[in-house]
Amino acid sequence: DQQVKQNSPSLSVQEGRISILNCDYTNSMFDYFLWYKKYPAEGPTFLISISSIKDKNEDGRFTVFLNKSAKHLSLHIVPSQPGDSAVYFCAAPAPTDSGGGADGLTFGKGTHLIIQP
Amino acid sequence: DGGITQSPKYLFRKEGQNVTLSCEQNLNHDAMYWYRQDPGQGLRLIYYSQIVNDFQKGDIAEGYSVSREKKESFPLTVTSAQKNPTAFYLCASRIGRGNTEAFFGQGTRLTVV
């Protein structure tokens, strides 16, 4: 069962407008979330993260919002630029209090963002 | 510059052959990971290693093997037992467990013909 879900495979936004990418999770033990950006045939690059003790984190044009009660987070990009066209992944590391259990990041399936001129 | 290097970028192999993908990092990270990406799928964890000489299976380890003899290196072998090996393989590293970001290499595209 998917613990991190990105239900929109693709999103098309006009240049200069706001892009909003959504992510839902099912594991209430997750306490940290990350967004990655990925171009074709390249490795993902880290964009922004948020701890569960916050509900918002901002870095330039990128803002991530976290709604713990809804188990939902979103990435806002404003204004959207042509170079933002890429696949965006939401991810969460294994909970910090999971003892000696599994490690690694759990990823959603990604949302392909297309910025139209 | 510090980073993660994967080689080669493209790899072609005949069906039934084993192939080893290289991953080297100079970030002094303890933890290293191998992920696989298929079209329309997220990144799925194959194996991970939290420390030298130790590694653990991820979600899709069947048909793969790894070693961690040095902190800097975490090679992945795709064996003939892997039923669908054609994919994009990504290596990553982190300082350790917990709430830290992972840094990724540029990936290796493996095509089995």
Q: What is the DSSP string of B8-47?
A: -SEEEE-TT--EEEEEEE-S--SEEEEEEE-TT--EEEEE
Per-residue pLDDT tens digits of chain B, which is 113 residues long: 679 999 999 999 999 899 999 999 999 999 999 999 998 888 999 999 999 999 999 999 999 999 999 999 999 999 999 999 999 999 999 998 788 899 999 999 999 98
| Chain B residues inside the 8 Å CB shell of A6 | 42
Q: CB-based contact (8 Å) between B64 and chain A? A: no
pLDDT over 70 at A96, yes or no:
no
By C-alpha distance, the chain A residue nearest B98 is A96
* Minimum-distance CB partner of B43 among A31, A42, A89: A89
**pLDDT at res. A104:** 87
Pairing of strands B108-112, B10-13: parallel
Three-class SS of residue A65?
Answer: strand
Shortest distance, CA B28 to any CA of chain A (angstroms): 17
- How far is C-alpha B91 from the geometric centre of its chain's CA atoms? 4
* Minimum-distance CB partner of B42 among A51, A93, A108: A108
Which two structure tokens, joined as six digits, stand for B49?
């290693």
pLDDT over 60 at A76, yes or no:
yes
pLDDT over 90 at A18, yes or no:
yes
Q: CB-based contact (8 Å) between B90 and chain A? A: yes
- Mean of per-residue pLDDT scores for chain A: 93
Which two structure tokens, joined as six digits, stand for A104?
């690694």
- Give the CA count within 13 Å in the CB-facing half-sphere of A107: 27
Give Dmax over CA atoms of chain B in angstroms.
40
| Chain B residues inside the 8 Å CB shell of A87 | none
Residue B31 Cα distances to A56, A84, A90, A108, B2, angstroms: 28, 30, 20, 21, 15
Chain A / chain B CB contacts < 8 angstroms: 71
